[in-house]
Amino acid sequence: MHPCFLNNFSHYLGTATFKESDVETFELNSGSIVAIAGIDFAIVVADARLCTNSGRVLISHDKIFALSPLTVLGSTAPMGDAFLVKRLIESRMQTYEFKNFKTMTTNAAANELSMAMYKCKLVPHGLCNILVGIDKTGEGIVYTYNGIGRCRRQRYTSGGSADAFLRPVLHERIGRLLKFRKHEITKTYALNVALYAFGVANRQTYTGKSIIVNIITKQGIDVQLIELDKA
């Protein structure tokens, strides 16, 4: 995998360097994710707070991992399992690239992640995976996974410790728009909905005030750090 896709926000968030060895094996680090797919883009947003089981803040850290120029993986709780899944899917994508001399598509990556989760049985530890990207036609796609690793394509979703706060906002602002008005979601509207949803979820202890936004288009991935109290 190209080194430019390895996430390291320690300098961006103004915190100490965070290593995989710093994570406790059975620590539920919490965190939340929102993903929205549009006609020619996809947005995935995650808070940047990493907590202990008791709610103590450990460090600010990115929960979104770039797997290719058109595919990202969002994982929450616990980060030890999240790192393992990221390494596993990266290894499979790299092997595919070496054999076929091309980058694995988002759809194929979603299938690989599904098989990896089913074999490794990581989900009982509380891991929430959301794979987001652009398909062959240039359309945004969001894949979610159930308890046995089965993937499902959706237009929007949320997950993590603040899911009970995030999902009603998405149903109201995105679901109703798609169902009743038959309007397509614009990039600006999707981002505003995600920001509003995290503003609501900020009442929850495990949700931080800083969020990291990944906007995926055919041109690549645009990463932004946004402070909720300044948005």
- For 96-106, what is each residue's pLDDT tens digit? 999 999 999 99
Domains of the chain: 3-9+29-227 (3.60.20.10)
210: nearest Cα among 14, 79, 28? 14
More confident residue, 45 or 119: 45
Tokens linked to 31: 């965190």
Mapping DSSP to helix (H, G, I), strand (E, B) and coil, where does residue 127 land? coil
Measured between alpha carbons, how far is 159 from 123 in angstroms, rounded to an integer?
Answer: 13
Side-chain-side CA neighbours of residue 157 (13 Å): 19
**Is the sign of the CA dihedral 80, 84, 89, 90 positive or negative?**
positive
**Section 97-126 average pLDDT:** 81
| Other beta carbons within 10 Å of 22 | 14
Owner of token pair 């038959």: 182
Q: What whole-number distance in Å separates Cα of residue 10 and Cα of residue 8?
A: 6
How far apart CA 63 and CA 160 sit, in angstroms, is 11
Residue 20 pLDDT exceeds 60: no
Strands in 220-227's sheet, in edge-to-edge order, are 156-160, 32-37, 42-47, 210-217, 220-227
The dihedrals phi and psi of 113, each to the nearest 5 degrees, come to -65, -40
What pLDDT score does 150 carry?
82
| pLDDT given at position 109 | 94
Q: How confident is the model at residue 19 (pLDDT cuts 50, 70, 90)?
A: low
Query: What does pLDDT average to over the chain?
Result: 81
Instruction: Express each pLDDT in 151-175 by its tens digit.
Output: 899 999 999 888 899 999 999 999 9
Asked if pLDDT for residue 34 goes beyond 80, the answer is yes
Is the dihedral angle over the CA atoms 33, 50, 106, 133 positive or is it negative?
positive
Say if residue 124's pLDDT is above 70: no
Question: Hey, what's the torsion of the CAs at 91, 93, 99, 101, to 10 degrees?
Answer: -130
Mean pLDDT confidence for 122-126: 52
Place of tokens 């009970």: 164
Instruction: Count the neighbouring beta carbons within 10 Å of the beta carbon of residue 133.
Output: 27
Q: Is residue 56 over pLDDT 80?
A: no
The answer to whether residue 146 scores a pLDDT higher than 50 is yes
**Which structure tokens are listed for 23?**
């994570």
Q: What percent of the chain has pLDDT over 70?
A: 75
Q: Looking at the whole model, is its pTM more than 0.95?
A: no
